[in-house]
Every structure is written in C-alpha cells, then in structure tokens.
Amino acid sequence: MTKLRLTSLFLLSIVIGCGGTVSDDSPEMSASDVVALPKPEPDYRLQYGDDPLQFGELRLPEGEGPFPVVIVIHGGCWLAEYDLGYMSGFANALTAAGVATWSIEYRRVGDEGGGWPGTFQDVADGADYLADIALEYGLDVDRVAAVGHSAGGHLALWLAGRKSLDGEDPLRGEAPLALNGVVALAGIPDLEAYAAPEGCGSAVSGLLGGEPIEVPDRLRRASPIAMVPFGVTQTLIIGEFDSIVPESQAESFADAARQMGDSVAVTTILGAGHFELVDPSHSGFEVIREDVLKALYPAFE
C-alpha cells in the first residue's frame, strides 16, 4: 500500500467531523478569481471517449505505484462556460500529498450532447476508464475516492450512488467503479431543492432536460438525496460564507443519508466562501486534503 505523505496538523485538532474548523482568511474570491488560479500541466491528458470533451487529466506522485486515485470533478453550474482548468492547482496539490489524481472533463449544458443524459454518462465513463489504464499507469483501483466542487460535488456524490440504479440503466454502467469514499465541496446533493428561476439553480432544468417536477424519473436517477444509501463514507464541506450553495443542502442530505445508515460528516471551513474551497493556498485546504485522504483510507481517523 502506498505510503502517503501526511501532515500531522497537530493530530488534526482543528478538524471537527460535524461542525466548524479553520481560518483567519476572509472570503474574497469570485468566479473570475478562481478561473485565474494557476493551472499546472498534468502528466498525461487521456481520452476516455470519442468526443473532444471526453478526456481526463492524470497526475502521478513521485515514487512507485500502484497509487491510490482521487477522481476530481469540476463544477460551474453544469454549464459549458466552465471547464476543469480552475481545479488544476487543487488536483496538483493533492498529487503532492502522494496520490494520483484523475480530473474528468465532461460534456455540459450548452455542449452538444451535454445535459441529460450525456453529462452523467461522461462522468460515469470517465470514472470507469480508470480500470482500463490502471496497469499501464500504476493505479490502485481498489483505493479510489471522488471529490467534486459545487456542481462537481453533485456529480461526485452521484458517482458514489449510481451503483443503486437498475442494472439495465445505461447511467449505471456494466461495472461501476467502486469508491472508498466521496468528498463534496459546496456540493449540491438535492437537485429539486436547489432548482431556481435564476442563479446557478436555473441550470438544473437544463441538466435534467426539464423542471424537476416534470421529470420525476430523471430526478430519481440524478439527485443524490434520492439515491441513498451509498454504503461509503461521505464528507460534505461547506464554506462559512458561501452565498451560492446554502448550508441546508449539506445538512438535509446528511440527515437523509444517516437515516438510511450511511456515515456522513459535515465540515464547515470558517472564513471561506464558495470558491476558497478549491484554492490550495487557502488555509482551509489542509483540512480538505486530510478529508480526501481519509476518504481513500476510511480507517485513517
């Protein structure tokens, strides 16, 4: 098993599994700020499908594998305007902690084939592609976690839950890659509650191909809160001053998942808004990094 270069962080005394943590920083980041973050190049750019947007960026740590893998899924309201570039530094920082990262690009609302069902099919296919490249790139597909931000947090949680879909459902796939855990950063686990006539919530109808009330079967297959239990550890991380995704998204999902027997933690990063959660220079990143590593190794407490 790969030895991770873990920081003690004073025995993680600043982490409280269901509550507050960290930071003297003030939330100042906007969408334009986060898009302007440094974008370190990946080690490999690999196509998992034929469409130009069906690719992923693979980063490998130093040393010999097989390496545990973190699937990284970007957000941006599921819209074509935002791509995986803004999470490049985040993925690079996780790789520096001793894990491989696989950042998935996917067709989004506004892209040909994006929305329903293409967005979901791409994320599923991108995750399952790890099994195809594991031997060549020294990846340990028995140790995989998913982490996503905002709309990507929704998709990361969905990845953990898709194995509960009907066996014939094309969104499930023939052999869904098993996850050890999932971390959602400002994730959106309840699509119906998040849908709104304006703001990021207005994209939900585009993602589903209709308003949630109009497409109940799609909602059941796409909204993580309707798919619990997952049977893997889940951590939902929220920024204290997030004005884009309300705290109620994490809290209501955690309540529903716990009632179904899942292990769920909700962590608040003090002094953070929506975008600081993916900035590796923010002090809260130390907590996020440790939560991601714990998702790979649930016994690491």
Q: Identify the DSSP state of 88.
A: H
Residue 216, in any domain of the structure: yes
Residue 238, in any domain of the structure: yes
Q: What is the pTM of this model?
A: 0.91
Per-residue pLDDT 10s for the chain (301 aa) are 333 333 322 222 223 233 344 444 556 799 999 999 999 999 999 999 999 999 999 999 999 889 999 999 999 999 999 999 999 999 999 999 999 999 999 999 999 999 999 999 999 999 999 999 999 999 999 999 999 999 999 999 999 999 999 999 999 988 999 999 999 999 999 999 999 999 999 999 999 999 999 999 999 999 999 999 999 999 999 999 999 999 999 999 999 999 999 999 999 999 999 999 999 999 999 999 999 999 998 754 4
The residue range of the domain holding 232 is 9-296
**Structure token pair of residue 85:** 């570039």
Distance, CA of 74 to CA of 276 (rounded, Å): 14
User: For 26, phi and psi rounded to 5 degrees?
Assistant: -105, 140
Distance, CA of 79 to CA of 61 (rounded, Å): 31
Residue 1, in any domain of the structure: no
Give how many domains the chain has, as a whole number. Answer: 1
- Contact in structure between 300 and 146 (CB atoms under 8 Å): no
Residue 2, in any domain of the structure: no
Residues in contact with 32: Cβ distance below 8 Å, sequence separation at least 6, in sequence order: none
Residue 301, in any domain of the structure: no
Residue 4, in any domain of the structure: no
Give the residue from 257, 103, 288 showing the smallest Cα distance to 190: 257
Beta bridge partners of 102: 58, 71
Element housing 17 (H / E): none
Residues in contact with 19: Cβ distance below 8 Å, sequence separation at least 6, in sequence order: 266, 267, 268
Instruction: Return the CATH number at 217.
Output: 3.40.50.1820
Q: Which amino acid is at 129?
A: Y
